[in-house]
Amino acid sequence: MKDKKLKLKKVAIVAKGHAKEAKSIIQDLTKWLDERGIKHALESVLATRVGTGASFSLDKMPKDADMFIVLGGDGTLLSVVHAMRSRQVPILGVNLGSLGFLTDVALKDLYETLEKIVDGDVSIEHRSLLTAELERKGEVILTERVLNDAVITKGAIARIIEVSVDVDHQFVAIIRADGLIVSTPTGSTAYSLAAGGPIIHPKLETMILTPICPHTLAYRPVVIPDRSIVTLTLRGDPGEVYITFDGQVSELLEPGDIIRVRKSRNAVKLVSVRDKNYFRVLRQKLRWAERPRERRSKTPPTP
């Protein structure tokens, strides 16, 4: 899907709150935007720290922004995605030092990337979202969208939990494990990967079901079409068990609670430079291109 050239009249800026370098970065960034006649607004906490510019809160985002610039890590970008709800404004993710699969633009490349955006030399990636509903006693009490994953996991007490899994009203299994992850292809490189799930290219239309430390080793990650409806039912009395959406929103579950997960009608738009590709990101982030370095010592080893 091709998008029209981004016409930057106004950008909204969000940055990781405790980043030490944020103030100087924002001052340079706003100066660059001012020189090009591009209006800007800063997230309220950031604006207070910098001490300048128009501000907005994440729960009341500017409606006239043509693009969001997010400086930080993936968690910062996910907080913006959740605050956007049904809006689909392009997001430029700038990495401030963490792993960052979503915030894949290095800080040193920020202004080169912005120049390309102004010149129209970028593309927009559409990343699929999931909608997750929490049903309790026949009533939906919570609905959230997720870009990465919805995770059912136990609390502090080390007890196995039981989750009954159905896909399109067909029974799959009762998973006994520390938890269960339902993720998008985008989220395949997040918690799911750490739990042993596969890496899925973001253009594939799939969902991944990944058990966390399953009690039976036969339980393995499963990839299913994203047009499916996944139904998860918490069984027994497992104590403290939570459902967490993209690490942003968490809800304590009760026995018998039902979580239904399906593909959302909306998508997230990520600004991508044309000379970048997914496998290059994987090489950089997972360090596939590195060779083991031999440690050399000037002194002989101690016996």
* Contact between 235 and 241 (Cβ < 8 Å): no
Among this protein's residues, is 28 annotated catalytic? no
Helix axes 110-119, 22-35, angle to 10 degrees: 30
**Do the beta carbons of residue 264 and residue 130 sit within 8 Å?**
yes
Catalytic one of 3, 74, 121, 275: 74
- CA–CA separation, 95 and 101 (whole Å): 9
Nearest-10 Cα torsion for 225, 227, 229, 232: 40
Reduced to 3 states (helix: H, G, I; strand: E, B; else coil), residue 32 is helix
DSSP at 108: G
Going by their DSSP bridges, the two strands 149-154 and 249-252 should be labelled as unpaired
Alpha-carbon distance 142 to 119, whole Å?
A: 42
Token pair for 70: 């997010």
Q: How many CB atoms lie within 10 A of CB 240?
A: 13
49-63 b/e (C-beta count within 10 Å ≥ 16 → b): bbeebebbeeeebbe
Q: How far apart are CA 56 and CA 284, in angstroms?
A: 34
Pairing mode, strands 67-72 and 91-95: parallel
The Cα diameter of the chain in Å comes to 71
Catalytic residue set: 74
